[in-house]
Structure 1
């Protein structure tokens, strides 16, 4: 592929990294400052929930904005929201309500940036195999962001204080603007629809009339919930088994490393795969690993299970994004991506509460078995019903 292809892709990846890193940094620093000011754990929990609340509310309008305006203008709005959120935190002096507003702005900016980046990435090629590679490379951005933002903000808090740390997070999103010129300006869609059709209001639920869209959203939710239950249960199991914080961190770090490795590998082997094959395999493999995970007691055994779990879960996002792009109308790609984003943010806000209630009643290990059964059963059934795309010739 030509440099004219790689330069826009690099700009999209770095744009998402810059916006998501800023949000991840603020998401670490704001609760720490609240705890430093003596606020309760409940207050900190509410503050963290607000980072996901704004994306739930604003995802669909953001997707429609991207469909209407393309990449550049929505990116400027996303950057402005992210910068404003970090700057508010910098001048808040620990004021709780200002930090709450900062959380909502930061979450909204990062999520709008995610939608416009993913929408533009999906339009870089009409070839399904190339598109799968694009989404695999793009899938590295969250991992890099969740490393860069928290590490940088932690160093700055310890070295210079909260105000400087928040100020640095306000500078990160500007990188997205600086390299946005590498992304071509999108040509407006032809106004070919009849006036009556164009005047008809678009409803997001119309997208769910497509069986493949419904199946993809359900699959994405099931596998994302498996990710969430792993993050929730591992610290509990580790504590019950007497593991120290270093060992628990090693298990979670092994999972993250496995996700990164598989996303590096997918672009190399994409021509040998179809999305349907990978999704069927991912659901069955996830169910199998979750079934045996509670029996892994030593730290090395838990880390091995974490590495095996990261392979199927890390492979899912590029497949879902590629198929979702194919299953939705060209003029509604941003709206479909926003619907996916909204469902995942809502799940990430609600599911930990469900996990906590079920874990208290049944035990933490049982959560793995319940989730594994759902994924292997309902998930693999839905994956098998997705229309097959033959692999490209190598």
Structure 2
């Protein structure tokens, strides 16, 4: 039962990064620009983040397996629409909207089912190691697989590949049983869903306006903050009235979970930010094709694979906090190596050591961060916390592409300085994640059963 769940996480992470190596091909074919492709990638990640919390809540109402299969169906349709898109608008509809919504429906059940099916901390760590490892591999291998398909066939074939994997996951999911019956009478907070999605969208789209219109950027950022404040007030009002909101404020009273959520956000921000910056720099500035760019990312893929496979053994020997801390230190070291090696060497393999370290670091800490968050709450709150956890991670992914990508795109007239600036900003954000890790308790325990 773990295979289809892990494959689902793989393909969703793959979708978030494989377009990075198609920048030139899509731009030429659809008559758009690097920024147009960046917007498509960022909106996909943003839609996932915006609707992941509602997706988690719907699992209680519709059932975890039903949401999983519905999400797969919507995702598959989106992949086919993307494959045959005649322009950027249809590509955004298929890839960014439909695939994003499909992912928001299918990913929360992956983590809820894993938490429910694996009850003890060690076996859960192993299961999460497989799933988050496949997610990390999907994100890191996306450029290589996408590059091979794009160069060998077409960028459109990469979306056909996604649709085929979706069909395989559906077939493998037939034996999955929902451990808890759905509750169709469970209320759903529509207003909260709209407010949370609108607030997050305004924030990320505001960042994307940094190179076009600073006034519009400021307006969107302010509106985003105000809408999120409105969302918080709405949630508080529903709780005081004895009604069930989209997201319970009780989830934020767990200090351990809050800090681990920060580390999750930063981890995915670093992964997707580095992936976009390096991919865009190689293609637009150095003129590498899709497969050449993808091959360079095998170093990151190898790092994530090695550390993910060791997740169970590491969880037995070391506290979760120590693993997350070590992951950040190694990742920050990798970013430093990327800055130094690329600055003083024009050889394409100068990227490999830094990417390898980043892959090792991220692979080491992805699993313990998820395990800490999910294990901090009992089963009846798994729908909420799973949605929140995935939303925070995908928000980090969209912010990584938006922030680092925008810095790079704005400074393409001086590509060397723009590349360095983007990497330095990512390193600064990584330090925030490391500080949050230092504040985690030395040891974490599984949530109580009731």
Say yes or no: TM over 0.5: yes
Equivalent of 1:102, from 94, 107, 113?
94
Give the corresponding residue for 2:211.
none
Q: Name the counterpart of 1:130.
A: 123
**What's the TM-score once normalised by structure 1's chain length?**
0.78
Cα pair distance change 1:156/1:385, threshold 3 Å? closer
Distance 2:41 2:313 in 1: 37
Counterpart of 2:390 (choices 341, 351, 355) is 341
Deviation, 1:235, is 5.4
Superposition CA RMSD, Å:
4.1
2:197 is the counterpart of 1:204: no
1:290: which partner in 2? 335
What is the alpha-carbon distance in structure 2 between the residues aligned to residue 22 and residue 240 of structure 1? 21
1:230-309 to structure 2, matched below 5 A, reads: 230-234=274-278, 251-296=296-341, 297-298=344-345, 299=347, 302-309=351-358
Asked if residue 321 in structure 1 is aligned to residue 339 in structure 2, the reply is no
- Measure the CA separation in 1 of the matches of 2:156 and 2:263: 41
Distance 1:46 1:286, change over 3 A: closer
- For residue 85 of structure 1, report the CA deviation from its aligned partner: 1.4
Alpha-carbon distance between aligned partners in 1 of 2:310 and 2:45, rounded to the nearest angstrom = 30
Give the alignment of 1:179-190 within 5 angstroms.
Answer: 179-188=172-181
Is 1:178 the equivalent of 2:171? Answer: yes
For 1:157 and 1:271, the matched residues in 2 are separated by: 43
- In the alignment of these two chains, the number of paired residues is 378
1:1-41 deviations in Å (ceiling 9; x for gaps):
xxxxxxx2223223444666678778988995663243444
Alignment of 1:44-83 (within 5 A): 44-83=37-76
| Worse-matched range after superposition: 270-279 or 82-91 | 82-91
Secondary structure of the 1:387 match is coil
Q: Which runs of 5+ in 2 are unaligned?
A: 184-238
Q: 1:364 aligns with which of 408, 419, 443?
A: 419
1:321, distance to aligned residue in structure 2 (A): 1.0
Is 1:141 matched with 2:134? yes
Find the aligned partners of 1:165 and 1:289 in 2 and give their Cα distance.
29
Q: Distance in 1 between matches of 2:308 and 2:399?
A: 27
User: d(CA) in 2 for partners of 1:153 and 1:238?
Assistant: 13
Q: Is the aligned partner of 1:310 residue 2:359?
A: yes
* Whole-Å separation in 1 of the counterparts to 2:70 and 2:247: 22
* Residues 281, 419 of structure 2: 8 Å contact kept: yes
Stretch moving more, 236-245 or 31-40: 236-245
Name the counterpart of 2:192: none
SS of 2:440 mapped into structure 1: coil
Q: TM-score, normalised by structure 2?
A: 0.70
Indicate conservation of the 8 Å contact 1:139/1:318, yes or no. yes
CA offset at residue 81 of structure 1?
0.4
